[in-house]
C-alpha cells in the first residue's frame, strides 16, 4: 500500500490555511501547515513533503525567497512546488521556472485539487527496477469537461496512470490551452453548455495549432453516437467512466489515430 502523500502548505492567511488545508485533508492528504517561510523551513527539518503549496506575497520571507532557499545551485527546487497566489499576473514569470504548477487563488477550488492530483500522480509512479526498462515519456492529455467533479475524477484517474493532464472548463479557452500545453490527445465531452463536442472538434480541425492532435469524444449519457465526418475524432466512447476513457486513450496512442467510433 502506498504511503499517504504529505503536503507542506505555506500561506500567511490563517483562513486560507484552515479552509484549503482542511479540504486537502478531506481528500486524504497529510497536510503540514506553515504561516510563514521561516516556519516552513523549520518544518522541513522534520518533514519531507511530496508537494509544497506556496503562497508568494507573505510578510518577512516572501515566497520567492523561500523558493530560492529550497533550490539547488542549478535553480531547481528540491521538492515539487505548486505556486498558489492571488497574484495571477505572475503566471508568465513562474512559467520560466522549474516548478510543477501555478494556480491563482481566484480559481475554482476544484482546480487546486486537480493540480495536486496531477502533480502527486506523476510523483507516485513506482520507479523501474534495474531489470526493467525506464518509463516512456509521459503523455499529455487535455480534458474538456464542464462538470468540475467529473473532471476531478478523470484527472485523478489519468494522473495515477502516469498521464500529465490539464482541464478546460470553458470551451472558449480550448485553442489557447492547446497552444500553451501542446497535448498529444484531447478528451472532449459530447454535450457542453451552449455548444457540443462535435462543434469544438470541427473548430479544432481549422486551428493550425490543433492539426494532427487526435480527439477522443465521449458521452456520459450514452445516448449519442460518433460521427465519421470529423477525421480528427479518432475514438468515440459512449460513457464518462474514467476507466473507459483510459482504455480508449491507451488504445489510441498504441494503435495510431485511425477512426474507430
pLDDT computed for residue 2 by the predictor: 56
Between CA 252 and CA 261, with CA 258 as vertex, the angle to 5 degrees is: 80
| Reported confidence tier of residue 127, pLDDT bands at 50, 70, 90 | very low
For residue 241, name the pLDDT band (cuts at 50, 70, 90).
very high
Return the closest-CA partner of residue 87 out of 54, 114, 112: 54
Kindly report the CATH number assigned to the domain that includes residue 234: 3.40.50.2300
The reply to whether 35 and 74 lie within a common domain is yes
Q: Would the pLDDT of 45 be above 80?
A: yes
Supply the range of the domain harboring residue 220.
Answer: 140-255
Mean pLDDT confidence for 32-49: 93
Q: Which residues contact 180 (CB under 8 A, 6 or more apart)?
A: none
Mean pLDDT value of segment 163-184: 83
Q: Identify the pLDDT of residue 122.
A: 57
pLDDT above 90 covers a percentage of the chain that reads 32
Q: Are strands 195-196 and 191-192 parallel, antiparallel or unpaired?
A: antiparallel
**Which range has the worst mean pLDDT, 35-39, 64-68, 76-80, 92-96?**
92-96
User: 111 with 181, same domain?
Assistant: no
Supply 18's cell numbers: 484552515
Same domain, 117 and 144: no
| pLDDT, average across residues 174-201 | 88
Binned at pLDDT 50, 70 and 90, residue 226 comes out as low
Confidence grade of residue 157 (pLDDT, cut at 50, 70, 90): confident
pLDDT at 229 over 90: no
Question: Does 164 share its domain with 204?
Answer: yes
Q: Which of 123, 158, 175 is the last residue of a domain?
A: 123
What are the residues whose beta carbons fall under 8 Å from the beta carbon of 101, sequence distance 6 or more? 82, 83, 115, 118, 119
Q: Indicate the number of domains in the chain.
A: 2
Last residue of a domain, one of 89, 123, 157: 123
In-domain check, residue 222: yes
Which whole number is the average pLDDT over 224-230? Answer: 72
What is the pLDDT averaged over residues 152-166?
80
Domain identity same for 144 and 119? no
Please say if the pLDDT value at position 42 is more than 90.
yes
Give yes or no for residue 258 having a pLDDT over 50.
no
Last residue of a domain, one of 123, 157, 173: 123
* In a domain? residue 164: yes
Quote the mean pLDDT of the chain.
83
- In this prediction, residues 22-44 reach a mean pLDDT of 91
166 pLDDT tier (thresholds 50, 70, 90): confident
Amino acid at each position: 500500500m502506498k504511503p499517504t502523500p504529505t503536503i507542506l502548505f505555506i500561506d500567511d492567511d490563517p483562513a486560507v490555511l484552515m479552509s484549503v488545508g482542511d479540504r486537502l485533508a478531506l481528500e486524504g492528504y497529510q497536510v503540514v501547515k506553515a504561516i510563514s517561510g521561516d516556519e516552513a523551513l523549520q518544518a522541513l527539518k522534520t518533514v519531507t513533503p511530496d508537494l509544497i503549496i506556496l503562497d508568494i506575497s507573505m510578510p518577512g520571507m516572501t515566497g520567492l525567497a523561500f523558493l530560492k532557499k529550497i533550490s539547488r545551485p542549478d535553480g531547481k527546487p528540491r521538492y515539487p512546488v505548486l505556486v498558489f497566489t492571488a497574484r495571477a499576473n505572475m503566471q508568465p514569470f513562474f512559467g520560466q521556472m522549474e516548478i510543477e504548477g501555478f494556480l491563482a487563488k481566484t480559481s475554482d477550488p476544484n482546480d487546486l485539487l486537480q493540480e495536486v492530483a496531477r502533480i502527486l500522480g506523476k510523483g507516485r509512479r513506482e520507479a523501474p527496477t534495474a531489470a526493467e526498462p525506464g518509463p516512456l515519456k509521459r503523455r499529455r492529455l487535455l480534458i474538456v469537461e464542464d462538470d468540475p467533479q467529473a473532471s476531478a475524477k478523470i484527472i485523478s484517474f489519468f494522473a495515477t496512470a502516469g498521464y500529465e493532464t490539464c482541464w478546460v472548463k470553458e470551451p472558449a479557452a480550448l485553442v489557447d490551452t492547446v497552444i500553451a500545453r501542446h497535448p498529444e490527445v484531447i478528451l472532449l465531452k459530447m454535450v457542453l453548455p451552449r455548444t457540443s463536442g462535435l462543434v469544438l472538434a470541427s473548430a479544432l480541425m481549422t486551428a493550425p495549432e490543433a492539426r494532427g492532435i487526435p480527439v477522443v469524444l465521449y458521452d456520459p449519457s450514452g445516448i449519442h453516437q460518433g460521427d465519421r465526418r470529423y477525421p480528427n475524432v479518432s475514438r468515440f466512447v459512449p460513457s464518462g467512466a474514467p476507466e473507459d476513457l483510459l482504455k480508449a486513450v491507451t488504445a489510441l496512442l498504441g494503435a495510431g489515430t485511425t477512426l474507430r467510433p
